[in-house]
Amino acid sequence: MEIGSTAQNKARLFAGFKTFPAELKAKITSIAKSFKRLGQDDPRRVTHSFKVGFALSLVSLLYYARPLYDGFGVAGMWAVLTVVVVFEFTVGGTLSKCLNRGFATFLAGGLGLGADYFASLFGKKGEPIVLGILVFLLAAAATFIRFFPRMKARYDYGVLIFILTFSMVAVSGYRVDELVVLAHQRLSTIILGGATCMLISIFICPVWAGEDLHNAVASNLEKLATFLEGFGGVYFLSCRDEGSDVDSKDGNGKSFFQGYKSIMNSKNREESLVSLASLHSTWEPGHGRFRLRHPWKHYLKIGALARQCAYHIEVINACIGSHIHASEEFKGKIEGPCSRMSAECGRALKALATSMKTMTDPSSAKSNVENTKAAMKDLMFALKAASVENADFLAIAPAAAVGSVLVEIARCVEKISEAVHELSERAHFCKTVEPTVSPEKPQQLLHRGIIRPVSDATGDVHDENVVITIHEISTDSPENEKVDQHRVPKPGQV
């Protein structure tokens, strides 16, 4: 029995050895595949890696070349350090770090020398004590300053380098002679390293934070559009044509139903991109289609509205998955306007996204927004007309909820459209020929006297002027939006 088990063990061990290369190969293949996928998802990552390698090799020339080494000595090390620490993925990131590092080093170096001089006044005994106290106070104060949200967003790295340089200069001043020569060498090598990074990141396949932001916001609108265009099909028609392409996967292998989810957590990324793209609009110079003073901050507004829209979609999704089944009869009554509204919202968003991507005038989306409004009115008529006998509200509530939230989404899309229009004006998108009168001034339309189908602009007027008492406030104006958002709803409004 024992011999048998030993033999078995041996066989197992042998089999293990035999399968080991295969397993190793499989492991390596899977790692290689994930590398490949990472590179294919965004080929700029590969370029960036090579850029960093190139910058480092270039800077290490300081060491290899005899004349350069004689000039800089061991301080050349600081150039290597600078390149590694400062080189970021986006141009804005690299510039911000370079400038932060440069100015902080300069400032802290000067202060450090001053502190050394001041401490030396206290004699050989008192010098280390005074230096220690100065380092303690400055480090504590600067560390505290890093907690200010504004400082953290823009100058965190600078303050860090400030503490670093100040302590190093102040402390080493106590021992190292010829401190000024050393400081000069160090500053010049840092500038050299920083300049190398800046030049390489700007001139070799640059990755602009601003462009990333622009594309991210536009593609968020597209994701919302994809959901809304497919939504009607899923909610109302799913039982009828199951083989339709509503469940088709998009590029990332996720169902289109999930695409919008990534938008909900986009706030931090958008804010950091904005802060990289513009410090008083100056981190990144003008590039490609973007001028120096491109209104980057305006993207935050569009991004916030897109997130708002995504939250609504999340709730609609939850309602769809709800356990209460809506009455099919009622669903049938609101199906038409709901589907149309959702699809038109999707089309409007798609048009807005395209206009952003091509940086052309977004007025082609206006007709979609108008259609959305018309569909909203139709939905309201359908709701008014849908007085079912002995209505079971329990069965109606979920469908009514979906309808109501869709109305909110349509309003959101309208706001997004306004925000994109504002962006197009402030960023001077290319104008296309506009055939229609702009709908912002409805009061002109009121005096027309022509009977039109409900889907045109006049319908709009009646719809928006719900607050009867306040005639002079146009609900389209941005001020009114602001008031709406910042004020807690008053009892009357509720």
For residues 41-100, which are near a second copy according to CB under 8 A? 45-46, 48-50, 52-54, 56-57, 60, 63-64, 69, 74, 77, 80-81, 84-85
Which CB atom, from 208 or from 235, has the smaller least distance to a second copy? 235
Query: Are 170 and 134 a contacting pair, CB within 8 Å?
Result: yes
- Residue type for 10, please? K
Binder to a second copy among 91, 99, 108, 163 (CB under 8 A)?
163
Query: Are 3 and 9 a contacting pair, CB within 8 Å?
Result: no
Binder to a second copy among 181, 324, 470, 483 (CB under 8 A)?
324
Residue 174, interface with a second copy (CB under 8 A)? yes
- Residue type for 247, please? D
| Backbone torsion region of residue 88, taken as left when φ is above 0, otherwise alpha when ψ lies between -120 and 50, otherwise beta | beta
| Residue with tokens 């899309």, as numbered in its chain | 413
Eight-state DSSP code of residue 247: G
Which CB atom, from 128 or from 288, has the smaller least distance to a second copy? 128
Binder to a second copy among 1, 147, 280, 469 (CB under 8 A)?
147
Report residue 179: phi and psi, to 5°: -60, -35
| Residue with tokens 């459209």, as numbered in its chain | 417
Task: Give least dist CB 399 to a second copy, A.
Answer: 9
Binder to a second copy among 30, 255, 282, 436 (CB under 8 A)?
255
β-partners of residue 255 are 249
Task: Give least dist CB 266 to a second copy, A.
Answer: 9
Stretch that binds a second copy, among 20-28, 219-227, 276-284, 381-389 (CB under 8 A): 381-389
Residue 125 corresponds to which tokens in the numbers above? 């005994």
Map residue 392 onto helix, strand or coil.
coil
Residue 122, interface with a second copy (CB under 8 A)? no
Which CB atom, from 267 or from 452, has the smaller least distance to a second copy? 267
Which CB atom, from 2 or from 479, has the smaller least distance to a second copy? 479
Nearest CA among 298, 277, 312 for reference residue 418: 298
Question: How many Å apart are CA 121 and CA 107, to the nearest integer?
Answer: 22
Residue 132, interface with a second copy (CB under 8 A)? yes
Stretch that binds a second copy, among 106-114, 203-211, 319-327, 345-353 (CB under 8 A): 319-327
Which CB atom, from 309 or from 356, has the smaller least distance to a second copy? 309
Exposed, middle or buried, 224 (CB in 10 Å: 0-12/13-18/19+)?
Answer: buried
Stretch that binds a second copy, among 12-20, 338-346, 348-356, 482-490 (CB under 8 A): 482-490
Question: How many Å apart are CA 211 and CA 219, to the nearest integer?
Answer: 12
Task: Give least dist CB 204 to a second copy, A.
Answer: 13
Eight-state DSSP code of residue 438: -
Which CB atom, from 262 or from 360, has the smaller least distance to a second copy? 262
Residue 444, interface with a second copy (CB under 8 A)? no
